[in-house]
Amino acid sequence: MKEIIKNALILFAITLVSSVLLAIAFQVTEEPISVQKIKQRDAAFATVIPDATFEEIVDLDFSEYEKIDSVYVAKKADEIIGYTFKLITNEGYSAGIEMVVGVSIEGTITGIDVMRHAETPGLGALADEADFKNQFVSKPLGELSTVKGVSSNDTQISAISGATITSKAVTNAVNEAVTYYNNELKEGN
């Protein structure tokens, strides 16, 4: 009986020390991780709308838009030039895809940037490559579709060979950002 109590106390002490060390590690790393995420987000914003300042719009309703995480107004010399959308989609082949989409008030997509993904290397991971992302640049703010092979017009995006699911997931997220912009942010709505 004494042996059982002794072993239980030793196990409790080990668990307590491990928990305290884990809590300390969390406290020490929480702020640097947060700072790095902000730097990554800001770099993605600068990729999709260069030379702008960004300010989050906090009073927006995304209840009908499941992929939109946040929206930022992009300004140059205190004049609104567009918006950036931070999106998270779970439609990819693997876990979620976190990305940024930029739209201009002139009515085009300024770019996309994939911030985080767990897609298959050499296939879905190519969604983060320039060849795929550049297809979205200067597209009009309307519904885009993903096609196998070469796109034939401004409303089509060529799917990544072997990664149609990922290609569609990214395109659907872009479509949601464009729809939100057209319905909620575009001047005149």
Q: What percent of the chain has pLDDT over 70?
A: 98
Q: Is residue 78 part of a domain?
A: yes
| 95 domain residue, yes or no | yes
Q: Is residue 83 a part of any domain in this protein?
A: yes
Q: Is residue 9 part of a domain?
A: no
pLDDT value of position 96: 86
Asked, for residue 13, whether it belongs to a domain, the answer is no
Average pLDDT over residues 35-55: 92
User: Above 90 in pLDDT, residue 57?
Assistant: yes
Share of the chain above pLDDT 90, in %: 60
Q: How far apart are CA 140 and CA 131, in angstroms?
A: 19
Is 128 or 86 the better-scoring residue by pLDDT?
A: 86
pLDDT tens column, 160-182: 888 888 899 999 999 999 999 99
Tokens 């909620």 identify what position? Answer: 184
Three-state secondary structure string covering the chain = CHHHHHHHHHHHHHHHHHHHHHHHHHHHHHHHHHHHHHHHHHHHHHHHCCCCEEEECCCCCCCCCCCEEEEEEEEECCEEEEEEEEEEECCCCCCCEEEEEEEECCCEEEEEEEEECCCCCCCHHHHHCHHHHHHHCCCECCCCEEECCCCCCCCEEECCCCCHHHHHHHHHHHHHHHHHHHHHHCCCC
The answer as to whether 153 is a domain residue is yes
In a domain, 23, yes or no: no
Let me know if residue 115 belongs to a domain. yes
For residue 95, the model assigns a pLDDT of 74
User: What's the confidence (pLDDT) of residue 188?
Assistant: 62
**Mean pLDDT, residues 60-76 taken together:** 94
> What is the span of the domain harbouring residue 67?
47-185
- What's the predicted TM-score (pTM) here? 0.82
Confidence of residue 159 (pLDDT cuts 50, 70, 90): confident
pLDDT at 189: 58
Is the pLDDT at 76 greater than 90? The verdict is yes
Give the number of domains in the chain. 1
